[in-house]
Amino acid sequence: MYTSLLRRKTAGEALFDAVNTFGMLLVCFVTIYPIWYVLVNAFNEGQDAMRGGIYWWPRVVSLDNFQAVFNNPGIMLAMGVTVAKTVIGTPAHVFFTAMVAYAFSRRELVGRKIYMLLGTITMFFNGGLIPFYLLIRDLHMLDNFLVYIIPAMFNFFDLIIFLAFFREIPAGLEEAARIDGANDFSIFVRVVIPVSMPVIATIALFHGVYQWNDYFTGMIYINNMDLQPIQTYLYRVIAQSSSNIMMAAMPGGITKSVTSQSIKLATMVVTTLPIVLVYPFLQKYFVKGMMIGSIKG
């Protein structure tokens, strides 16, 4: 009888494992297939794609859509703005937030608990879009590239992640540096930063993805088309359904084989690919960073 119950339990576990595996495969399919669909249609000839029926593989393989994207000066200029604000904004955010977090980690900081309370409140409440717009205007950052950098240099949630890591750094490292004559800033740059690569890579990935995908800042605070990032450019094109913008400055031979829809899909691929390629290089640091503070003792 015991053996029979054991067999039933084993069969039930096998059924549970099968259902669990099927559920995970279904979630993976629902997550990945839309990306695959965009990729397949981006590599298919635009005019042929209008007939429909393309679900798994390109029916007429063509690179004209991507050629049209790279030949469009507006798209390439917007891509340059996105790359610039990501490359400049991410290190600036990481360094400034880490520096503030290091100050918060010092127990001798006067008013530390009050600062933590005030910072925590800002995570749940803010003044709203209109007061922030007026602030940006008064700081003369409308239609200014710095609007992508300065307001995003600090985030209190990222400070908490940094703070949890800094508290785990052995105090002996800082004491040894202080005996050698290093001041607080030297300790931060020469001791704390080098041993904090896991959390730095994690925050850099978080903020880098934010900077790359951010379209709202360019839509609200930038009217100059030369300063709009690629995500804002793509948002305006899709929202306006304007084929004229997408097909501007294209060679005549290309316009015969592409459509506004096919170029939109190709643009999505071009804008998504760089940030996807960066992730594998930061994954090991990302996993370590996410474990920060999870185990005590």
pLDDT tens digit at each of 297 positions of the chain: 445 544 555 666 777 777 778 788 888 888 888 888 888 887 887 776 777 777 787 777 777 777 777 777 777 888 889 989 999 999 999 999 999 888 888 877 788 888 888 888 888 888 888 888 998 899 888 888 999 999 989 888 888 888 888 888 777 777 787 877 778 788 888 888 888 888 888 888 888 888 988 888 888 898 888 888 888 887 776 666 554 545 544 554 455 567 777 777 787 787 777 777 777 776 666 555 444 544 444
Comparing CA positions, the residue from 289, 284, 249 lying closest to residue 168 is 289
What pLDDT shows up at residue 255? 52
What pLDDT shows up at residue 85? 92
Question: d(Cα 62, Cα 78) in Å, to the nearest integer?
Answer: 24
What pLDDT shows up at residue 181? 78
What pLDDT shows up at residue 21? 81
What pLDDT shows up at residue 294? 45
Residue pair 260/113 in contact by the 8 Å Cβ criterion: no
